[in-house]
Amino acid sequence: MRQFVLPILLVLAVAGAVMSVIAQNPAAQSPTPQSPASDPQLALWQNLKRQLQAPNGKQYFELVLKDATVPGPTDSVQVLRGTVVSSKPSKRPSELVLAMSDDHTPEVTLTLRDARLNLTPLLRPIPNGAIVEFYGIPVLFTQNPFMLTFEVKAENGPSGANPRFLTKGPPKAKP
């Protein structure tokens, strides 16, 4: 079964189709800590966060990040990855708060918008602890407490997932 999932995901990702993936293998669900050297997404996030936390972080946001697509076309990764800490409203969320450096510290807010920039809820809830991959446009930033807000284009499909997301459910507790 697993050998069929990867080619299907690659085809769907290239086609821009809607896909929600929940791993069947319990071993695949257990998170493994990644180092920035082995995880380019984490390295990109840590670099962005370091720049934003610097004394001139607000200027960096205004001049470099604000209203630009992140990750950008020159970045080595195409999406960022975070863990859902909360979502509003819970049943059909249009706002997700993510932890990026660990699995519990809120650092990013995703605001889901349609092509007309209206808030757009997902068709189904995203559970806390789910892994979400995204790209979007930073629109707001606060240095203390640290929070970077992205607007993400939302296009609901038949599965209720957003094509800008590749989601995996939270790891199941081992008996």
Confirm if 93 and 82 have CB atoms less than 8 A apart. no
Chain centre distance of CA 26: 22
Average of pLDDT values for 125-130? 90
Rg from Cα positions in the chain: 16
What's the whole-model pTM score?
0.70
Provide CB contacts within 8 A for 30, sequence distance 6+: 171, 174
pLDDT digits (tens, 9 = 90+) for 40-86: 989 999 999 999 999 999 999 999 999 999 998 887 888 899 999 99
Residue range 22-38, pLDDT digits in tens: 222 333 343 444 555 67
d(CA 127, CA 113): 20
Domains of the chain (ranges; CATH) run 2-24+36-168 (2.40.50.140)
* Torsion angle of the four alpha carbons 15, 165, 111, 76, in this order, in degrees rounded to the nearest 10: -80
Q: Answer yes or no: are the C-beta atoms of 51 and 63 closer than 8 Å.
A: no
Do 99 and 105 touch, CB atoms closer than 8 A?
A: yes
Give the Cα separation of 129 and 145 in Å (integer): 21
Dig out the tokens for 127 from the structure: 């559970």
Residue type, 25: N
Identify which of 122, 154, 128, 130 has the alpha carbon closest to the alpha carbon of residue 81: 130
